[in-house]
Amino acid sequence: MIVIMSKSMREEELQGVISTIENHGLQAHIVRGAEKTIVGAVGDKSRLVKIPFQAMPGVEEVIPIITPYKLASRDFKPEDTIININGVTIGGNTIPVIAGPCAVESKEKLLEIACQVKEAGAQLLRGGAYKPRTSPYSFQGLEEEGLKHLALAREKTGLPIVTEAVDMNSLEKVAYYADVIQIGARNMQNFALLRAAAKSNKPVMLKRGLSATIEEWILAAEYIMSAGNPQVILCERGIRTFETYTRNTLDLSAVPIIKHLSHLPIIVDPSHGTGKWRWIQPMSQAGIAAGADGLMVEVHQNPSQALSDGGQSLTPEKFKIMMDKIKGVALAVGREIAL
């Protein structure tokens, strides 16, 4: 349920609504918008059925939220959420591109690619230090050493870093080094990890689960938000379908649907979404046309030698071309690529 306060409400009237909600064992989340103040009641709503909020002073309207998620809902917060990562914003008019290798492979290679993606216009650097590999025999990542390389690359380029936590142990380290904590597709419903990531107070990039519905995905975001961290970035990275030509099926319809249902920013990852470098540029263009707030693209100096996901990585040269192509699409839909 959300309670919309009237424009002329007094502060004690707002406090009256908040304490009524809290006294019934629910949490009150307050959003002070430019126009109105909204109070969301989160918890067991059956405890509030008999409370005549409508009759309380300062209340303009009471709206039941019928979706199972609340804090992530656009009904609860009509304005887009804009997340600021050391000066780079996601969710506003300018669209940042996150680029870098699938995995951090060595200090030298990371520093080189970080400079190259920056040069081409990337605003954030990605790179996995802990890798969730399908096979236990595949390269699992450099772990903390990889995080140190990422921190060095940030120091050298100024690019904030996005990197994945795969479990509770890696989360502690990732939360220390990263600017954005990535929760991968395989962990989208690892609710203990989501709650723990929320506690870091760093922005969390939540990738869509391999077979997750849009509602399950938003509910996973709700776990992070209800644990006290409103800074969630959703990332569409393709879902499992019967199609085998691509690694996954990039569900671009999720972009406008998420923007309709939620105020959270959504970015598109055409690397994992298609699994093949050839489709990254067209699907990046399509993602931006669909309204995405950002892109995440894998880039590697020598994709055929990459320790993971080489087939879906662009070379720095191809990445530069992609960056040029997406600018025009952004302009056509009234946005711009942050450079």
Number of residues that bind ligand PEP (CB under 6 A): 9
Residues 124-183 close enough to bind ligand PEP by CB under 6 A: 128, 132
Give how many residues touch Mn ion by CB under 5 A: 2
CB 164, CB 130: distance < 8 Å: yes
| Rounded Cα–Cα distance for residues 322 and 325 (Å) | 5
Window 178 to 237, contacts with ligand PEP (CB under 6 A): 184-186, 207, 237
Nearest approach, Cβ of residue 116 and Mn ion (Å): 18
Round to whole Å and give the CA distance between 189 and 175.
Answer: 19
Kindly identify the residues of this chain, within the stretch 71-110, that bind Mn ion according to CB under 5 A: 102
Per the DSSP assignment, residues forming a β-bridge with 191 are none
Q: Minimum distance from CB of 238 to ligand PEP (Å)?
A: 8
**x-or-dash pattern for ligand PEP, window 30-69, by CB under 6 A?**
----------------------------------------
Residue with tokens 């760093």: 202
| Residues 73-112 contacting ligand PEP, CB under 6 A | 102
H or E stretch including 115?
Answer: helix 107-120
Exposed/middle/buried for residue 56 (C-beta within 10 Å: 0-12, 13-18, 19+):
middle
Nearer to ligand PEP, 121 or 128 (CB): 128
Provide the Cα torsion 236, 240, 246, 249; round to 10°.
-40
The residue sitting closest to ligand PEP, measured at its beta carbon, is: 184
- Least Cβ distance, residue 162 to Mn ion (angstroms): 12
For Mn ion, give the closer residue by CB, 17 or 98.
98
Nearer to Mn ion, 102 or 142 (CB): 102
| Number of other CB atoms surrounding residue 83 within 10 Å | 21
Give 69 or 130: the residue with its C-beta nearer to Mn ion: 130
**What DSSP element (H or E) covers 235?**
strand 232-236
Would you say 5 or 166 has its CB closer to Mn ion?
166
Element (H, E) at 205: strand 204-207
309: contact with Mn ion by CB under 5 A: yes
User: Does 310 engage in binding with ligand PEP (CB under 6 A)?
Assistant: no
Q: How far apart are CA 247 and CA 269, in angstroms?
A: 12
In whole angstroms, the minimum distance from the beta carbon of 50 to ligand PEP comes to 45
SS3 203: coil
Site membership for Mn ion, residue 205 (CB under 5 A): no
306 is a site residue for Mn ion (CB under 5 A): no
Q: How far is the CB of 323 from ligand PEP (least distance, A)?
A: 19
Minimum CB distance to ligand PEP, residue 184 (Å)? 3
Q: Which does 132 bind (CB under 5 to 8 A by kind): Mn ion, ligand PEP, none?
A: ligand PEP
Closest CB to Mn ion among residues 293, 309? 309
**Hey, is 193 helix, strand or coil?**
helix
Question: How many Å apart are CA 114 and CA 194, to the nearest integer?
Answer: 28
Q: Which of 272, 300, 318, 335 binds ligand PEP (CB under 6 A)?
A: 272
List, as one string, the DSSP characters of 27-38.
Answer: EEEEEE-SS-EE
As to burial, measured by CB atoms within 10 angstroms (0-12 exposed, 13-18 middle, 19+ buried), residue 55 is: exposed
Which single residue is written with the structure tokens 């969730």?
132
Angle at 310 between CA 285 and CA 301, to 5 degrees: 85
Residues at the interface with Mn ion (CB under 5 A): 102, 309
Residues at the interface with ligand PEP (CB under 6 A): 102, 128, 132, 184-186, 207, 237, 272
